[in-house]
Amino acid sequence: MMINNTLSICLTPKNLCIEQALKEAGVTDIASVSKLTISGTLTLRSFKYIQENMSKTLREFDIGNALFSKGHIDIHDFSGFSKLSSIEVNPRNQMISSHNGVVLSKRKKELIYCPPKRQADFVIPDSVKHIKCNAFADCEQITSITIPETVTTIDSGAFCGCSSLTSIVIPSSLNEIQSKTFYKCSSLTSIEIPMSVFSLGTSAFENCIGLTSINIPASVLSVGYSAFSNCIGLIYATISAKIIGLCAFSGCTSLKSVLISASVEEISNNAFHNCPAYFTVHPDNLVYESKNESKKCYYV
């Protein structure tokens, strides 16, 4: 039955075809549906039909007992639902669950997917240990995400494209910031990297144009390729990582001051390409030294 652009459909073992269910419900304009509730079992065939016909208009989706496993629905198939702000999962679903409109694994240990139009701040439940690849990708309206200390793994691209994200705290339980984790988080103004982190992946903070300063602790063994490239708002950087990778800070055109600590052992090619900064090398550094007569030459 459809009321005020809200449609509820029951798919039973005898009638798993959504086309037939829509016909019986008298729905002729499925593109007008903004909220869809499925009771019963949502099969791959029915999901594909919804994806092809409703992905541009659907804002809220209660997916009932959808089959999320190999050969069935992949949660990332929801990436085409451009206006989706909430996904709710029936508690009886055997494979996944939901929390405030965000999809988690059944036991709530993995955060799998956040709809792209979800608004307001989001607090990740304490049960979560793992944030999956691209989980919050392109969630452009979220301004703050709270990550609990229970989280030990954040996959690549987890927060990429969160262009309104201004505040996030990396928990000390995390050991690695993987590739493109915060790529294009353009409103992020500050980030504190805890001493537990030993690696910053490729393009981890690339195009974070709102960042003004960064302090990379000595626990970090390597700053990956283009990790901070094109962070055009970055002004100050203190770096204690063992290795500063290729193009790590290239294109940081506002960078004024860089402090290279004694623990830095390798600065790769083009690490600071097109950075008009003044570089200060700690006097105890055994590899590099300041060359103050030229602000653009930072080591010999």
Q: How confident is the model at residue 298 (pLDDT cuts 50, 70, 90)?
A: very low
Angle formed at CA 37 by CA 36 and CA 39, multiple of 5 degrees: 150
Closest to 110 (Cα-Cα) out of 160, 170, 150: 150
**How many structural domains does the chain have?**
2
Q: Are residues 163 and 82 in the same domain?
A: no
pTM confidence score = 0.88
Q: Specify the range with the lowest mean pLDDT, choosing from 9-18, 147-156, 188-197, 239-248.
A: 9-18
How confident is the model at residue 299, as a pLDDT? 43
Q: Are residues 248 and 262 in the same domain?
A: yes
Is the model's pLDDT at 179 over the cut of 90? yes
Q: Are residues 163 and 139 in the same domain?
A: yes
- Give the domain range for residue 48: 1-114
Q: pLDDT higher for 184 or 46?
A: 184
Q: What is the pLDDT of residues 247-279, one digit of tens each?
A: 999 999 999 999 999 999 999 999 999 999 999
How confident is the model at residue 183, as a pLDDT? 98
Q: Are residues 229 and 130 in the same domain?
A: yes
How confident is the model at residue 296, as a pLDDT? 41
Closest to 131 (Cα-Cα) out of 148, 115, 155: 155
Q: Are residues 271 and 220 in the same domain?
A: yes
Q: Are residues 34 and 128 in the same domain?
A: no
Q: What is the pLDDT of residues 124-135, one digit of tens each?
A: 999 999 999 999
d(CA 146, CA 110): 15
How confident is the model at residue 63, as a pLDDT? 81
Is the model's pLDDT at 156 over the cut of 80? yes
Q: Are residues 125 and 195 in the same domain?
A: yes
Greatest mean pLDDT among 22-31, 75-84, 107-116: 107-116
Domain termination site, one of 96, 114, 132: 114
Domain termination site, one of 86, 114, 142: 114
Domain termination site, one of 81, 114, 147: 114
What's the average model confidence in pLDDT over 160-172? 94
How confident is the model at residue 73, as a pLDDT? 66
Q: Are residues 27 and 176 in the same domain?
A: no
Q: Are residues 50 and 160 in the same domain?
A: no
d(CA 66, CA 132): 19
Q: Are residues 133 and 269 in the same domain?
A: yes
Q: Are residues 144 and 293 in the same domain?
A: yes
What's the average model confidence in pLDDT over 177-200? 96
Q: 136-169 burial string, b = 16+ CB within 10 Å, else e?
A: bbbbeebeebebeeebeebbbbbbbbbbebeebe
For residues 51 and 80, the answer to whether their CB atoms sit within 8 Å is: yes
Q: Are residues 4 and 100 in the same domain?
A: yes
Greatest mean pLDDT among 55-64, 91-100, 110-119, 244-253: 244-253
Dihedral angle of Cα 189, 204, 81, 142, to the nearest 10 degrees: -20
What's the average model confidence in pLDDT over 23-32? 79
